[in-house]
Amino acid sequence: MGDILHDSTPARLITAIEENLSSWIPVFGTLGHAYVNDPVGVRRSITNIPSSLFNSVMDARLAPEQVDPAIQTIVSDAKTRKVPLLWWIGPATRPVDLGKHLEKYSFIHDGESPGMAVNLAKLNESLPTPAGLSIQPAQDDAAWRRWSIVMSSGFGASSHNERTVNAWSDILRQADPETILAYTGWVNDEPVATSLLFLAAGVAGIYAVATIPEARRKGIGAWMTLSPLLYARSKGYELGILQASDMGRSVYSSLGFREYCKIHEYLWRPES
């Protein structure tokens, strides 16, 4: 699990938010293969799966003369594989105007997310429990596949997107259960929600908080976030982090999360 972070100063929290996110690169990399020609100064995953998330670029620390060659190499690989790219830019990204360089290569700014953090000792635990809700960790192939289908549905993707569902099932199957735990929320014996706990960079990262449309606005998402954080706290973790969507921001604020930075997303598609 690595060293647990105790320093909750804003600067250290911002670093932890970015480092927890970039720690996904080797996890996604299990779906592709090691690249010997990765550009110096970036971390990335590259796969044959046509989902931008699995072809992510993060943690860029590029000197001016490295920027264009790095972008050209990454785009060329994506064109060969016919997959989209997702390039994440945070406070530590260099150069600071990397987004402008990406736009020259047909990347579009696809939004920004607040990077948020909370002291786990100060979580708001006084939330009403939605009727009939139970939250269980997914721990076998059937449960990982069910989690992947519900998560995809919650984010608006078809549950029949087999490649994405299979990719997430493979990630969970290969994941170290000491660092990655998937949670499924059930209401009256029906799976309706998901979340994912990622223990990395010394903090508890929350990802994939999703609720199927017919089960929303009942407080389920808050509990899908709170439950894994309470588990992380029981393991000695002191800080939780996440990147919030517009839909989830008020939910996370109600739990005690505060914004510390912005994470920008730049998207490139093969047709561009």
The residue type found at 139 is: Q
CATH number, domain of 140, equals: 3.40.630.30
Q: Is position 1 within any domain?
A: no
Q: Is position 4 within any domain?
A: no
- Whether residues 133 and 68 fall in one domain: no
HEC per residue, 216-256: CCCCHHHHHHHHHHHHHHHCCCCEEEEECCCCCHHHHHHHC
Q: Is position 164 within any domain?
A: yes
Number of domains into which the chain is organized: 2
Residuewise pLDDT in 10s, the chain (272 residues): 569 999 999 999 999 999 999 999 999 988 886 666 788 999 999 999 999 999 999 999 999 999 999 999 999 999 999 999 999 999 999 999 999 999 999 999 999 999 999 999 999 999 999 999 999 999 999 999 999 999 999 998 654 588 899 999 999 999 999 999 999 999 999 999 999 999 999 999 999 999 999 999 999 999 999 999 999 999 999 999 999 988 889 999 999 999 999 999 999 999 86
- Whether residues 125 and 100 fall in one domain: no
- Whether residues 198 and 104 fall in one domain: no
Q: Is position 241 within any domain?
A: yes
Q: How far apart are CA 215 and CA 168, in angstroms?
A: 22
The rounded Cα 245 to chain-centroid distance in angstroms is 11
- Whether residues 153 and 228 fall in one domain: yes
Contact 203, 5 (CB under 8 A): yes
Domain that holds residue 226: 119-261
* Coil, strand or helix at 114: strand
pTM higher than the cut 0.85: yes
- Whether residues 133 and 233 fall in one domain: yes
Q: Is position 5 within any domain?
A: no
- Whether residues 208 and 154 fall in one domain: yes
- Whether residues 73 and 128 fall in one domain: no
